[in-house]
Structure 1
């Protein structure tokens, strides 16, 4: 069985995997989640958050032969973490799994990739902070953006935990190294995603081997919409 590290997306934290962790453990895996800087219980000021500091938090959490799953924006820091671990001789990642995540293009920031998509459904819900350092999601639009197919109460639970997202970290261009290229990778598309257009998820994986790309019929939050199904799919990927 595998050691699985779960990495959250924009404005989320380790809390979003509360239902997925026990589902993975029931299948015999060890599963854990982290808060990247300024998210969840991490108290780093949002002004101090960088792409590299987010990636370093992942490197610091690696065990031996850890499977790293990144959700949404988490695709950027997990890729950078794989390169950083390789650069320092600490490559401990067994596989990268991108869960309806940005699979980075060399020389692009996440914001640039988002703008390259055919449409940007999340932007209507984005509320930029007065100081320009971060953004939040309009509470009235949180459910439609992230959780429209999730059980009753999930949107309220999330609203109590969502935090401001650093803009600078998502405007930082990534320079891809050799580390992540040497690691097996898989992608899970979400066909009813209202945050990252499903068709753009297809674009990001158009050159990937078909055997490494999977799909779920859910929203942007399969860890709440169908945690058992997501756990079963991850288990299948790791046994394949």
Structure 2
């Protein structure tokens, strides 16, 4: 393919099943209306390492929130992402891809407890 697509999107009929199956129906419907295509290159993005002992990107503290019932980014894909670019902390949630809809109070509690 000489000119690959530059963005990706989920068809509306699959959005709830993949992104927000545990979320309230009204939140899922609103998210579906607001959802826009995202850069296709995002799935292949790589962060390079600079010269010396650590690059500027390694100076940023990272926290990864795993989502156990995520149908968009499967748990094994999440683990691979964590392995490729280790965060300083991993926090687990038993939610879909959209914990800000399916478990907003729990997500808030986790975020405010981060050092």
Which residue of structure 1 lines up, in the alignment, with residue 39 of structure 2?
166
Q: Aligned pair count?
A: 107
Q: Compute the TM-score of the two structures, normalised by the length of structure 2.
A: 0.77
Task: Determine which structure has the larger strand proportion and give its number.
Answer: 1
Secondary structure at 1:188 match in 2? strand
> Normalization by structure 1: what TM-score?
0.40
Alpha-carbon distance in 1 for matches of 2:106, 2:18: 21
1:188 aligns with 2:68: no
> Which residue, out of 95, 98, 108, partners 1:231?
108
Residue number in structure 2 paired with 1:15 = none
Aligned equivalents of 2:59 and 2:28: distance in 1?
38
Q: Post-superposition shift, 1:174? A: 3.7
**Residues 193/172 of structure 1: CA separation in 2 closer, same or farther (3 Å cut):** closer
Q: Distance in 2 between matches of 1:173 and 1:182?
A: 16
Listed as ranges, the gaps of 5+ residues in structure 2 are none
- Per the alignment, in what secondary structure is the counterpart of residue 189 of structure 1? strand
Of structures 1 and 2, the one scoring higher in RCO (CA 8 A, sep 6+) is 2
Structure 1 moving runs of 4+ over 4 Å? 168-173, 206-209
Q: Does 1:154 align with 2:6?
A: no
Q: What is the alpha-carbon distance in structure 2 between the residues aligned to residue 171 and residue 183 of structure 1?
A: 21
Secondary structure, counterpart of 1:137 in structure 2: coil
The match for 1:41 is: none
Q: 1:26-41 to 2 correspondence within 5 Å?
A: none
Which of 64, 73, 97 is equivalent to 1:220? 97
- Give 5+ residue unaligned stretches, structure 1: 1-130
Q: Does 1:138 align with 2:31?
A: no
Report deviation, 1:137. Answer: 0.8
Cα offset, 1:234, TM superposition: 0.8
Residues 203 and 152 from structure 1, CA distance in 2 versus in 1: closer, same or farther, beyond 3 angstroms? same
